[in-house]
Chains A and B, each alone.
Chain A
Amino acid sequence: MIFKRFIFLAFGSFMAVVSVVGIFNTVVDPFDVYRLVRSNGFNEIKPLYGEYTRLAKVIQIERFPRTTIALGSSRAQFGVDMQHEFWGNGENEKGWNLALSGAHMYEVSRLFDHAVDVSDVEKVLIGLDFFMFNANRQGHLEDESYFSVDKNGTPQSLHQLRQRVLTMGTTDAISASFETLRKQKVKEDKFNEFGRMLSQRERSKALDDGGFERVFLQNEAAYARQTWTACKNNSFPLRKPEVNGPLELLEKILEKAAKRKIEVVLFISPSHARLWETLDATGLWAEFEQWKRELTKSIQKVKIKNGSSVQLWDFSGFSDYSTEKVPAENDKAMKWYLDPSHYSVELGRLMLDVIHAGTRDAGGERVSFGRPMNVSTIDQLLIDIRNERAKYRLENPELIKRIWTGANKQLEERTRVGEQCSNVEGKGV
């Protein structure tokens, strides 16, 4: 009898602990996925949201369906404003910025599949970055169990249970709840309520880290060393045999969107001119241009097959904005950039203005920012950018020299100790 009582007590205590912890995590809601209670000084600020966006954004779009979404990497996460009139939403129907730091095309395609499965998506904006298309780096996500469909499109019937377990019954969730209760200062807020990362905080961080020049140098080195490719042989394949490479994944997104009558707008991020110069110095400019050509071909292919129209805008290159001077003083912030790769939401808004209203301003003057890119315009576009680059070089000889020296140093180091990569569609250094 005493043992039966023990079993009853143990089971009852277990259920009590499960209930208390589950309710606690739901109410504190550190990942901002339940939104039952939001109170100033209690849980209004979500300091841990940024560390769990990969889980949180998947749940958010499912629990709070929206018709407009933005996808891409951290550039889109910082720069795409879901309140811009480009989206054409009413006051109460803002979309979700579902872009994720470091996302490659596989992750973007998984999020797209999930979003269209759980929500009536009508319009999607996808920020494209060169590094996302390195076929060597496409693969799997560590945990895909909380997506509504698996990678083959088969429904995952237990995914919502999984979402609840992860957000209510894990030590991560518990410690995130306590952290949330502890850190309720405004400076801890890193994202807005639509999933966009806040620029201001990143600007302050750059100043705290020794100023923008220092942040630029660090980032340029990191990109040259490993972000585009970490291979000894500088390999950057866009396709790989027998696997669904990034371009194929993009085509699949476009195909699905065409079938579901979802409007798709693609854009190449307006990173800073110094990053494009670093890219060239790293020996990847030819691949970069080839990537752009392949993008236009992929879109054309889907267009012919489905009769759909997909807009593709190229904001890369050497505009008045992307050539913004990087202040040498360590207490001066930049207006349009957070680092050479990430642009501010202000520039993101200008970008959306252009996509929304075209490349001419109200007076009919051409705005020198962004170009529509397709199979007809690509050749001229590439020439124009090369010309702009030549002009930028002429105007900044010392800076260019520094960038090339820095990139070459990283490249040499990578050639020495980088990853061994097969040479599939890549090139030797």
Chain B
Amino acid sequence: MLFNSYIFIFLFLPIALVGFYVLSKTSRSEAKFLWLVVASFLFYGWWNASYLIIILGSIVVNYAVGTVLSGEHGNRAKKLILFLGVTANLGLLGYFKYANFFVDTINQVTGFNIPLDNIVLPLAISFFTFQQVAYLVDAYRGEVKDYDFIHYCLFVTFFPQLIAGPIVHHKEMLPQFIKGNTRSRSENFSIGITIFTIGLFKKAVLADGVSQFVGPAFSSAESTMVMSTFDAWTGALAYTFQLYFDFSGYSDMATGLARMFGIVLPINFNSPYKSKSIIEFWRRWHITLSNFLKEYLYYSLGGNRLGEKRRYINLFLTMLLGGLWHGAGWTFIIWGALHGAALGINHFWHRVKQHYGVIGSSKAYAVISLLLTFLTIIVFWVFFRAETVSGALNIIQAMFGLSPDVERTVSSGSIYWFVMLSAICLWAPNTYQIMKNHEPVLEQRMLTGEVTDKLLWKPSLKWAVIVAILLFWSICTLSSVTEFLYFQF
């Protein structure tokens, strides 16, 4: 069940909310959380009920291992249990997500023909695996309290963030389940529905709207057709915007939904295209993933404690694995490697600046930094979207005029989209800045930047009308009437 579907908006969500609110009035607080757990399993099982066994098995095993790790055991025994627990999680992820890729690669490189059935990736496995690995590591470190099983289940399965994040941390979620939220139900719902609506609009109207320019360019690139510079830029830019509005829209929807149930999620996107460096970009883009990779991978590799050289290597390895986490394919690995290299260069540049006392605080420097960062990100996204490395290279060559220029095939209508979306990405305040007076997310401190009073959300008639229009507009795009396909016949 997708957030942007009629069944979710008009059936699942109202029932889940009503049930939650009714059960909130009962004396036992577990009842409402049990209700949410059941709703979350239903939400997850809607795609494929057989996946429920995998997620349930993963939860039971991890909860058990976490409980053992939290107990009084010798350090060696704990280390062994943690090792087994993490290995089991990564093994599960590795089997479902990477087995096909590795076997295919081995077959291609060696010429062997190792048979392997096409393994279907269970939904959200990357997300719930990471959350639980973090839980185990923290249990080992003694940073986990005793939580009951229902709360743990909800921490893993809470449907707003189950499918595509934000990747939540037990320290952020479990205390909220236990303590509850002091704000009124109507306040939480008002804030939640506003954030959800903005997210739905970003996804259904903006991301899906600009996506029309993505497919043709990337398909042409895969079929090794020579493409014009204009078409290549159109495809790359359109994907840059599509991905942002799609993913940040989803995160907004998750944040808004969670808020309707009184839960505040961590911030996941903070106007990433306003970044003036790649380092800043990764502090603003998919923040919960960056935090996870930093905390549990980069630091585990030694972080910057082992000298400058190791720092670059660790950064590179972290981003390489971060790329692989996004998908099992060479294009993702290259994308990760490029970001790893760019982060290294960025850190090196900071050192050079420090060494020579360059401050770089002028407006021109800021604008150039922003544009250079944006350009770098656009080019890197090409690898993220392309199906093959050669497809990505075809587009990049055409973008920089390195392939024979041919007549463009994409209409210039894309330019209007790009101007509008650029204004939103590079100038407008983001959802959480607009809502910043109402604690939209955890880590409020990240919401820097002034927002004029006019743009700040208030529970006013103006905002009620805006929410109603955006919601209606978004819902109108959920169905498209099938236009006729075969006019040539």
Contacts and interface: CB of A to CB of B under 8 A. Distances in A.
A147 interface: no
Contact of B481 (A2, A21, A52, A222): A52
A6 B460 contact: yes
Interface in B452-489: 459-461, 463-465, 467-469, 471-473, 475-477, 479-489
Contact of B476 (A2, A5, A171): A171
Interface stretch (A12-20, A314-322, A329-337): A12-20
A268 interface: no
Per DSSP, are chain A's interface residues mostly helix, strand or loop, or mixed? helix
A73 B488 CA distance: 11
A55 B481 contact: yes
B481 A170 contact: yes
A10 B467 contact: yes
Contacts of A73: 489
Contact of B484 (A4, A16, A100): A100
A136 interface: no
Interface stretch (B48-56, B181-189, B269-277, B346-354): B181-189
Contact of A172 (B464, B465, B481): B481
Contact of B479 (A102, A131, A170, A222): A170
A227 B488 contact: yes
A13 B487 contact: no
B468 A13 contact: yes
A358 interface: no
B200 interface: no
A11 B473 CA distance: 14
Interface string B379-420: 000000000000000000000000000000000000000000
Given A74-B489, A170-B476, A7 B483 contact: no
A365 interface: no
B133 interface: no
A21 B472 CA distance: 10
B193 A10 contact: yes
A13 B194 CA distance: 14
B472 A18 contact: yes
A171 B463 contact: no
A2 B459 contact: yes
A7 B190 contact: yes
B468 A14 contact: yes
A3 B459 contact: yes
B184 A3 contact: yes
Contacts of A341: 489
Contacts of A91: none
A14 B10 CA distance: 14
A74 B484 CA distance: 11
A174 interface: yes
A339 B314 CA distance: 67
B479 A165 contact: yes
A23 interface: no
A54 B473 CA distance: 24
Contact of B483 (A52, A174, A227): A52
Given A14-B472, A17-B472, A102-B489, A143 B482 contact: yes
A309 interface: no
Interface string B184-210: 101101100100000000000000000
Contacts of B472: 14, 17-18, 21
Interface in A185-228: 222, 227
Contact of B186 (A7, A13, A131): A7
B409 to A, nearest CB: 18
Nearest to A172: B481
A4 B186 contact: yes
Contact of A166 (B184, B186, B481, B485): B481
Size bin of chain A's contact surface? 35 or more
Interface centre among A13, A165, A227 (most CB of B within 10 A): A13
A357 B469 CA distance: 59
Interface residues of B, number: 33
Contacts of A53: 484
Nearest to A341: B489
Given A14-B472, A74-B489, A166-B479, A6 B484 contact: no
B487 A101 contact: yes
Nearest to A52: B481
> Looking at A6, A13, A50, which has the most chain B CB atoms within 10 Å of its CB?
A6
B97 to A, nearest CB: 29
B260 to A, nearest CB: 11
A341 B486 CA distance: 14
A141 interface: yes
Nearest to B193: A10
A173 interface: yes
Interface in A122-160: 131, 141-143
B483 A51 contact: yes
Given A3-B459, A10-B464, A227-B489, A142 B469 contact: no
Interface string A37-71: 00000000000001111110000000000000000
Contacts of A12: 464, 468
A397 B67 CA distance: 89
A11 B189 CA distance: 12
Nearest to A218: B488
A165 B478 CA distance: 10
Nearest to A21: B472
A99 to B, nearest CB: 11
A3 B460 CA distance: 9
Contact of B459 (A5, A167, A222): A5
Contacts of B480: 170-172
B193 A3 contact: no
A426 interface: no
A101 B464 contact: no
A6 B468 contact: no
Which of B6, B190, B482 counts the most A-chain CB atoms under 10 A from its CB?
Answer: B482
Nearest to B489: A102
B135 to A, nearest CB: 34
A170 B477 contact: yes
Nearest to A55: B481
Contacts of B479: 165-166, 169-170
A102 B487 contact: yes
Contacts of B481: 52, 55, 166-167, 170, 172-173
A45 B475 CA distance: 28
A13 B469 contact: yes
Nearest to B485: A102
Given A13-B465, A170-B476, A6 B485 contact: no
Nearest to A131: B489
A270 to B, nearest CB: 16
Nearest to B471: A14
B173 to A, nearest CB: 24
Contact of B477 (A4, A17, A171): A171
Contacts of A424: none
Contacts of B465: 9-10, 13
Contacts of B459: 2-3, 5-6
B400 to A, nearest CB: 28
A3 B190 contact: yes
A114 to B, nearest CB: 15
A100 B468 CA distance: 38
A17 B189 contact: no
Contact of A102 (B469, B476, B486): B486
A54 B465 CA distance: 35
Interface string B38-57: 00000000000000000000
Contacts of A174: 476
Contacts of A169: 475-476, 479
Enumerate the 7 nearest inter-chain pairs by beta-carbon distance, A residue then B residue, closest first.
Answer: A102-B486, A13-B468, A9-B464, A6-B459, A102-B489, A3-B186, A14-B468
6 contacts: A2-B459, A6-B186, A6-B463, A102-B487, A131-B489, A171-B476
Interface of A: 2-7, 9-14, 16-18, 21, 50-55, 73-74, 100-102, 131, 141-143, 165-167, 169-174, 222, 227, 341
Given A52-B483, A171-B480, A173-B476, 4 more contacts: A54-B484, A74-B489, A166-B481, A173-B481
